[in-house]
Structure 1
Amino acid sequence: MAAGPPSLAGVGDRGSSSSHHPPPPPPPKILLAKPSLPHPSSSGADDDGGGGPRARQAPQPGSLSLVSDAWEVHTDKILPYLTENNDFMVIGVIGLPGVGKSTIMNELYGYDGSSPGMLPPFAMQTEEIKLMAKHCTTGIDIRISNERVILLDTQPVYSPSILIDMMRPDGSSTIPVLNGDPLSADLAHELMGIQLGVFLASVCNILLVVSEGINDLSMWELMLTVDLLKHNIPDPSLLTSSASQDKENKNDDQSSSEDYISDLCFVHARLREHEFSPSKLTLLRKILEKHFNSSSFRIGSSSTTAQVSDSLVSSSMKVEDLTSSRQDIFLLPLRAHDNSTKFEYGTYSCMLGMLRDQILSRPSRSFSKNLSERDWLRSSAKIWDMVKKSPIISEYCKALQSSGLFRK
């Protein structure tokens, strides 16, 4: 067998002829969950007929991108990590650069940063990357936790470093964002954020919208645009290959094919202590509900707001009171280097752990029909193709281009 990168299982060197020196320590591994047993041969549609060896072979961790930097979807290397299980959850994240998206996704994965020699499943921004004004994630990275939670970490929206990377000397885009049409880099860059939002809202059960501070409205406006442009994108469970189900879809589910949209959870990160006041959180919740009142997204309810408001204004406020009972809003403090415990409501790690527990236990919107993890992946690939070819997004692009009302 040719030498290559270490496999996911972390198998050490075999057949060493030297007994005088202990084997070198294993290289760091990336935490990626995969099925504990090979897929049964009955699912051979995805096998090459060779049986066991291919079923046991794990793809290289670094290549597990659902959407690549070339804006193309890839499923072949992801399929071995997925099963025919239909009890799973899909959580995506979208947000600006440096707000902690990957950190949140690593927490949802269950990554323990104290484990020696283990790298996080999603790359996180380092001080060097910050100083270089670079980004960690390009496209959409996918990981699957042991709890069968499919996690989608996306490249930052409105990122100067991504814009620079995709810009040719003449100002055009190197990435075929919209059906291959030539576009200026700045217009294509804005459309990328919209396409990411439409895709995630179409294939996720829960979508985390991460903002920096309390008053960042850019992500709210982006999600309203996503809601406006997410049309004719069907529920993933209605795109399975079953001929009988396809017939049923045409006859019974035409109206419901456009109805599915993920639940939004808003994460306001990098907050300072004065931004955690009960009055500000109550106002934030009311503004969010009003902002998204006419959208397809379900944001809280008036009864929930009243109940939470009453508890927040009480004098004996607890950390748990900083989130709504429907868990639509989460607050994270600015992370101190020493993870200081002086913060009144708890440390960053404590509140990040609370976010994980509440997100994973939150009842979320389900797809119309049961589908397996593998069927979800196949349907997601079809939906990505629909998003890139969407005539509605194309018309919106033309309107932006003619008006010049896009980020430059």
Structure 2
Amino acid sequence: MPAKTQLEPRHLYLKMSRDLNKRRERRKNDATARSFLQAPIILDRRERPADPVTIAQEPSMKPDELSTVIPSTSTCIPFMRRPNKFNSEAILKNLTDHPGHFVIGIIGKQGIGKSTILSHFAPNPERTFPTQSTDDFLLQGHKTEGIDMYITPERAILLDTEPICSWTVLDEVLRNGMNGLQPDIWLEMESLYNIIFLFSVCNVILVVNDGPDIDMDLLQLVQRAEMLKFCIPDFPLLVRDQQDMQYYPDIVFVCNKCTVDEFTFKRYKDLQLILTSFFEKSQLKTQGLVSLGNVLPLFKHTGSNLFFLPQDDGVESFDVLVLALRDQVLATPRKSGRKGQVSEKDWYRNAVKTFEIVRKSEYINEYLQVVRKLRDS
């Protein structure tokens, strides 16, 4: 009996020792398994190589020229630069061969906040498209040159354009000649070329105005661009029977920098009626896509795609409203059928061809000749 009593602690100790070793072995195996399973997660969380691509340059661009084209604080990609240079190498690196594409363009005059609005369609607005203050504009001229591109995580392609009818654009070109055109004609035609190009390659275009007052010059320019888009195909590289000569995008009118006094339902309703009447016979898709009433019930009104954005937070936060605008625009139905399945890279190749067709359009050249004769008479 005494011997048995002395052996029990020993057996207990051995059993506890074996159990402890087993637990250590299990913890070791579990740790190894966890580290193995976590490896892909660590790889997944690596930063996307967006920034290096933004400095990919055309063979014709020198490094010192590139530094003036791409601001260090911006992650957008130069899409097109005058005279008609496309940054194909960098663009194609960012586009995919997967079916489907969705393109949002923006137009407007200088200093109305185009780049700021479009930057809020991306996750990091402060690092999307370059913006500038009024003082910087007066000293340096406009910031956006030609067309810049940014691709969102939702695979929306954003196209930010230089200001239309801007004297700073004209000032830069005066040094290099304007092909014998008078300055005012050249400036109008360059704006029309850009708008017609966007009409042909975009799903949605934001037309930005400074406040809720009607800018008839801007609306008439949009109207002329619609007229001159005659016989410009949507996908010129597709076979002839698949081209749509009468394709037009959805148009959204955005009144930016509205003060508290201007941000009223009466101003909103009056502008709705004017836009509806102005584009009554237009083929542009100006209705049924965006409504301020979806965010602010007081502004419930059917009609044109019209959206107000505030100058300050007196009515509602700018960030809240611009994100609501983004959500409604991104919900735009994609093209139906095979054209909606065109990949991003194929869209880009067709866009380059479209740009060439717009510049060589006989219809647009005839309009240019008529304008020149009227101005000279």
Same fold (TM over 0.5): yes
Q: Measured at CA, do residues 323 and 299 of structure 1 come closer, stay the same or move farther in structure 2, by a change above 3 Å? A: farther
Alignment RMSD: 3.1
Instruction: Give the aligned partner of residue 177 of structure 2.
Output: 174
Unaligned runs of 5+ in 1: 1-7, 12-28, 34-59, 114-119, 176-180, 241-245
Q: What is the CA distance between 1:298 and its match in structure 2?
A: 2.1
- Residue 141 of structure 2 corresponds to residue 138 of structure 1: no
Q: What is the CA distance between 1:66 and its match in structure 2?
A: 1.9
Q: Is the 8 A contact 1:111 1:121 kept in 2?
A: yes
The secondary structure found in structure 2 opposite 1:223 is helix
Q: Measured at CA, do residues 9 and 275 of structure 1 come closer, stay the same or move farther in structure 2, by a change above 3 Å? A: same
Q: What is the CA distance between 1:76 and its match in structure 2?
A: 2.6
TM-score normalised to structure 2 length: 0.74
Instruction: Give the aligned partner of residue 395 of structure 1.
Output: 366
User: How far, CA to CA, are the matches of 1:361 and 1:397 in structure 2?
Assistant: 38
Unaligned runs of 5+ in 2: 1-45, 55-71
Q: What is the CA distance between 1:269 and its match in structure 2?
A: 0.8
Instruction: Give the aligned partner of residue 278 of structure 1.
Output: 265
Instruction: Give the aligned partner of residue 266 of structure 1.
Output: 253
User: How far, CA to CA, are the matches of 2:109 and 2:53 in structure 1?
Assistant: 25
User: How far, CA to CA, are the matches of 1:377 and 1:367 in structure 2?
Assistant: 19
Number of aligned positions between the proteins: 311
User: How far, CA to CA, are the matches of 1:124 and 1:82 in structure 2?
Assistant: 25
The secondary structure found in structure 1 opposite 2:252 is strand
Q: Is the 8 A contact 1:92 1:208 kept in 2?
A: yes
User: How far, CA to CA, are the matches of 1:187 and 1:95 in structure 2?
Assistant: 18
Instruction: Give the aligned partner of residue 108 of structure 1.
Output: 121
The secondary structure found in structure 1 opposite 2:345 is helix
User: How far, CA to CA, are the matches of 1:293 and 1:353 in structure 2?
Assistant: 29
Q: Measured at CA, do residues 189 and 112 of structure 1 come closer, stay the same or move farther in structure 2, by a change above 3 Å? A: closer
Bigger radius of gyration among the two:
2
Q: Is the 8 A contact 2:248 2:285 kept in 1?
A: no
Q: What is the CA distance between 1:394 and its match in structure 2?
A: 0.9
Give the letter for the 2:145 counterpart.
T
Question: Which of 282, 296, 308 is the equivalent residue of 1:319?
Answer: 296
- 1:282-310 Cα deviation digits (max 9, x unpaired): 12112111101111112227xx99xx8xx
TM-score normalised to structure 1 length: 0.69
The secondary structure found in structure 2 opposite 1:273 is coil
Q: What is the CA distance between 1:174 and its match in structure 2?
A: 2.9
User: How far, CA to CA, are the matches of 2:188 and 2:335 in structure 1?
Assistant: 28
- 1:337-359 Cα deviation digits (max 9, x unpaired): xxxx4x13x02222222211221
Q: Is the 8 A contact 2:122 2:152 kept in 1?
A: yes
User: How far, CA to CA, are the matches of 2:79 and 2:344 in structure 1?
Assistant: 14
Q: Measured at CA, do residues 197 and 368 of structure 1 come closer, stay the same or move farther in structure 2, by a change above 3 Å? A: farther
Moved over 4 A (4+): 8-11, 29-33, 60-63, 323-327, 364-368
Q: Measured at CA, do residues 352 and 32 of structure 1 come closer, stay the same or move farther in structure 2, by a change above 3 Å? A: farther
- Residue 350 of structure 2 corresponds to residue 373 of structure 1: no
- 1:368-394 Cα deviation digits (max 9, x unpaired): 622100000000000000111111111
Q: What is the CA distance between 1:216 and its match in structure 2?
A: 1.7
Instruction: Give the aligned partner of residue 203 of structure 2.
Output: 205
Give the letter for the 1:227 counterpart.
E
User: How far, CA to CA, are the matches of 1:267 and 1:74 in structure 2?
Assistant: 29
Give the letter for the 1:69 counterpart.
R
- Residue 326 of structure 2 corresponds to residue 356 of structure 1: yes
Give the letter for the 2:92 counterpart.
L
Q: Is the 8 A contact 1:327 1:359 kept in 2?
A: no
Give the letter for the 1:353 counterpart.
L
Instruction: Name the structure where helix makes up a greater proportion of residues.
Output: 2
Q: Is the 8 A contact 1:323 1:331 kept in 2?
A: no
